Amino acid sequence: MVKTALSGRRGLIAVDKMGGKVIFLDPVSYATVCVLDDFSRVPHELLVIPRASIACVPIFGDGIHGRNPNPGHLLSIIDLKLRQHVFDIDLSPYFAPHGLQEGPDGLVYVTCENSGVVALVDLDRRAVVDSIETGSTNAHRLAIAPGGQRLYTENEEDASISVIDVPSRLLIRQVAMPHPLAGLAIAPDGKLLVAVDDQEPMLFVIETATLEIVKRLPLADVPEPGQIARYSPDGLLLLVTSMRSNTATLIDASFIHQRTVAVGRQPMDGAFCGDELLVACQGDGTIHSIDLNARQVSRPFAAGVGCETVAFF
């Protein structure tokens, strides 16, 4: 693909978790053009909201999942046009915000690990307006079904998935899983939920209508468990990174064909744009560009100290 303004890329943003910063990169050359370093520790994850030209970055705390003695309680808001950290939303009394997604009601849903809730944030009011119990203080990442009726959280060490009814804002079920989990993604048609096994290099494919596991899919050429799962916008590809294997696996929607490629150290989240996929590697300060037509790395480039998440806008 020829990288021009016609590709629809206005900008590229990444959360440099290891450096405690947020960086803007040129969407064509991938040169770093702006660094924001006025955050509390430690920025995790990233949600871009194009309609508002903002990005939301949770401030998780200075620990890691399961060991976070000084949990954060802020949601930092970045203006994508100004490239500035413009304000913070205090999530107190909820702590350790991590996974987040915009709901059908325009609210931002944020897992707050240490508090065992999903906090509902109104960006216009700059405030938490409600919360939903998850039944777990290990709720890690979340996925909202298309149509917005259900929300799912993977509860890492608890080896469970919480199922939340969004309209009533109630926890309706916890689904026991065979092993602890590391990541979660829902297919764009809402029919399948993919959970990443944190014990073996495997995926659990769950039918959302029955909440039953319909497939256990070993990850091809991946020696260690996976980490994050993310669907392409068209639903034709599923990315699964393995932080411990330094790999990124591309799986087609039928789960028949897989292609695993080596990337940088500790790959985490990725961003799709056209026929390109970027994978952020927090262990070595690189982002790897994967050509989706050739199913191979086209080039790595330097970005911060160690980026966990990246997004085009």
**Closest C-alpha to 182, from 212, 155, 216, 208:** 155
Domains of the chain: 11-229 (2.130.10.10)
Positions of E strands within 257-302: 258-262, 267-273, 276-281, 286-291, 296-302
Give the count of beta carbons closer than 10 Å to the beta carbon of residue 28: 13
The structure's pTM equals: 0.95
What is the full DSSP assignment across 134-147? -S-TTEEEEEE-TT
- How far apart, in Å, are the Cα atoms of 204 and each of 55, 131, 209, 249? 31, 28, 15, 15
Tens digit of each residue's pLDDT, the chain (313 residues): 333 343 557 899 999 999 999 999 999 999 999 999 999 999 999 999 999 999 999 999 986 776 777 899 999 999 999 999 999 999 999 999 999 999 999 999 999 999 999 999 999 999 999 999 999 999 999 999 999 999 999 999 999 999 999 999 999 999 999 999 999 999 999 999 999 999 999 999 999 999 999 999 999 999 999 999 999 999 999 999 999 999 999 999 999 999 999 999 999 999 999 999 999 999 999 999 999 999 999 999 999 999 999 999 9
